[in-house]
Amino acid sequence: MTERVPIGDILRGDRTGQSVKVRGWVYRTRSSGGIAFLLLRDATGVVQSTFRKEEVGDTLFAAIEATGREAAVVIEGTVAEDKRAPGGYEVRGSAFEVVGPSANFPIARDLSEEFLLDVRHLWIRSRRMTSVFKVRSTVFRAIHDYFREEGFYEVQAPIITPVGSEGGSSLFQVRYFDRDLHLTQSWQLYAEALVMALERIYTIAPSFRAEKSRTPRHLTEYWHAEMEVAWEGMEEALRHGEGVITRAAQEVAARNEAELAYLGRDADYLRSIRPPFPQITYDEALERLQGQGVEIEWGKDLRTLEERALGEMFDLPVIVTHYPKETQAFYKRTDPEDPDLVLAFDFIAPGRGGELIGGSEREPDLEVLKANLVRTGEDPKAYDWYLDTRRYGSVPHSGFGMGVDRLVQWVCDLEHIRDAIPFPRTPTRYAP
Ligand code: 4AD
Ligand code: MG
């Protein structure tokens, strides 16, 4: 029996001269001079196959010519090296069978971005999308490998939560029987409880933000890689931020050369990502921005515009530390050397993606935490279980959250974050 092989094997030259069976989807067909050319795609690549009318007969030849784009087919033939074929190899076909027919596939060239989002369930088959998804798979692997090799336990927090951690304005409500609860913004509060048990922990899970902001780097549902370490301050979290970004960049450069080439991303740039990353304070960031004529008032959070300007000043992601306390979440530790600041940080990447990581050392003092909750309009009673983390054997701890879709966006250099995820959720896009 003829062996079934992935297209990738053929393109690597592993099958030349062999008789093979290939299954996949029709990328394109054309015929000329009694030869039908059929580009076939599977998950591993695209290969050309050719069928000669004089060999396969009129009936089968007509069937091949009539096969629609994206039909699922199985072919058999002999692999030959051929410089004229895309990829340098072709399968000289002898048998052809349609498994799943397809007529009038709705996606042709030059369609609008909105239409491609409407037919996302089909557009995900495109070479561009599958290239991104392969990179994305490597990024997830790299995050898991990094934290596991660093001695972290993977642990899960709930998605449905009674209280938020990142401020009420971006909380999604869920009707939970007869009460209103929320979709999680971050594992933050649970991580601070779990870290007293497992000491070094991480997770990769969906987070939700009801942000109407329509920017090229915001989703309403995104994948959040978060870590928390006990007995450690901000510096330790910073080193892990550098470590995990570096690991992801290096792994993608090593494993996804073909995909990066297709997406037009320079693999050598990703190879150049190594610690130490440049590190400045919020005050220094403001000085640099003002030096470039960007007007920004002290105390304000950096917006997309300012982040972009800052990111462009460095080749590596830049770490910004010591943010003004006023705008920051209640759990971030007040700087013991300046009560107006918190020991918080962001990693801001050059190019697309922007803020990849946000994190901090956590406030150890129970009374300061309560006051911060009140200042941010929350009722400390609702957080009482969380406050127990400070009542019973609390230790210094720090952590961060990383937007995995933003990391993928940056690694692939994608204009819009929605192309970093198969089925994006934005304020106006929730189907398919
Ligand atoms: O900076 P954020 O809001 O920090 C937290 O949620 C902390 N509780 C994390 C922690 O310390 N455990 O979010 C962290 C990261 C951001 O830096 C960004 O990369 C990503 O999550 N992020 C988003 N990604 C896509 N779409 C959105 N709407 C995002 N909001 C945040
Ligand atoms: Mg942030």
Residues 300-322: tens digit of each pLDDT: 888 888 999 999 999 999 999 99
Whether the CB-CB separation of 390 and 364 falls below 8 Å is answered with yes
Ligand 1 center from residue 70 Cα (angstroms)? 38
The atom of ligand 1 lying closest to the CA of 356 is 19
**C-alpha dihedral over 268, 270, 271, 273, to 10 degrees?**
130
Whether the CB-CB separation of 400 and 241 falls below 8 Å is answered with yes
Whether the CB-CB separation of 39 and 86 falls below 8 Å is answered with yes
Ligand 1 center from residue 110 Cα (angstroms)? 34
Nearest CA to ligand 1 atom 20: 403
Give the model's confidence band at 135: pLDDT under 50 very low, under 70 low, under 90 confident, else very high.
Answer: very high
Q: Is the pLDDT of residue 127 over 90?
A: yes
pLDDT of 110 reads 75
Structure tokens at 275: 């610690």
The atom of ligand 1 lying closest to the CA of 228 is 12
Ligand 2 center from residue 146 Cα (angstroms)? 22
pLDDT of 156 reads 98
Amino acid letter at 369? L
Q: What is the 3-state secondary structure (H, E, C) of 240-304?
A: HHHHHHHHHHHHHHHHCHHHHHHHCCCHHHHHCCCCCCCEEEHHHHHHHHHHCCCCCCCCCCCCH
pLDDT of 304 reads 86
The DSSP call for residue 379 is -
Nearest CA to ligand 1 atom 2: 358
By percentage, how much of the chain surpasses pLDDT 70?
A: 100
Spatial distance between the Cα atoms of 233 and 378, rounded to a whole number of angstroms: 26
By percentage, how much of the chain surpasses pLDDT 90?
A: 94
Ligand 1 center from residue 365 Cα (angstroms)? 24
Ligand 1 center from residue 402 Cα (angstroms)? 6
Ligand 2 center from residue 155 Cα (angstroms)? 22
Nearest CA to ligand 1 atom 7: 401
Radius of gyration of the chain (CA): 26
3-state secondary structure of 402: strand
For ligand 2, a single-atom ion, the residues with CB < 5 A are 358
Ligand 1 site residues, Cβ closer than 6 angstroms: 165-166, 185-186, 188, 209, 211, 218-219, 222, 224, 226, 355-359, 399-403, 405-406
Q: Is the pLDDT of residue 2 over 90?
A: no
Question: Which of 400, 411, 425, 429 maximizes ligand 1 atoms within 8 Å of its Cβ, making it the mutation to test the pocket?
Answer: 400
pLDDT of 179 reads 96
Nearest CA to ligand 1 atom 17: 357
3-state secondary structure of 395: coil
pLDDT of 108 reads 83
The atom of ligand 1 lying closest to the CA of 213 is 28
User: Over the stretch 198-253, which tens digit does the pLDDT of each residue have?
Assistant: 999 999 999 999 998 889 999 999 999 999 999 999 999 999 999 999 999 999 99
Spatial distance between the Cα atoms of 425 and 262, rounded to a whole number of angstroms: 25
pLDDT of 22 reads 98
The atom of ligand 1 lying closest to the CA of 211 is 28
User: Over the stretch 60-110, which tens digit does the pLDDT of each residue have?
Assistant: 999 999 999 999 999 999 999 999 999 999 999 999 999 999 999 999 877
Q: Is the pLDDT of residue 183 over 90?
A: yes
Mean pLDDT of 329-343: 98
Ligand 1 center from residue 396 Cα (angstroms)? 22
Amino acid letter at 39? L
pLDDT of 122 reads 97
Across the chain, mean pLDDT equals 96
Ligand 2 center from residue 425 Cα (angstroms)? 19
Spatial distance between the Cα atoms of 59 and 296, rounded to a whole number of angstroms: 72
| Proximal ligand: closest to the CA of 406 | 1
Nearest CA to ligand 1 atom 23: 403
User: Over the stretch 355-369, which tens digit does the pLDDT of each residue have?
Assistant: 999 999 999 999 999
pLDDT of 213 reads 80
Amino acid letter at 158? P
Nearest CA to ligand 1 atom 21: 403
Ligand 1 center from residue 185 Cα (angstroms)? 8
Give the model's confidence band at 58: pLDDT under 50 very low, under 70 low, under 90 confident, else very high.
Answer: very high
pLDDT of 168 reads 86
The atom of ligand 1 lying closest to the CA of 170 is 28
Spatial distance between the Cα atoms of 318 and 289, rounded to a whole number of angstroms: 14
Say if pTM beats, i.e. exceeds, 0.75: yes
Nearest CA to ligand 1 atom 18: 403
Mean pLDDT of 326-336: 96
- Which domains does the chain possess? 3-100 (2.40.50.140), 120-420 (3.30.930.10)
Alpha carbon distance, N-terminus to C-terminus of the chain? 41
Mean pLDDT of 25-43: 96
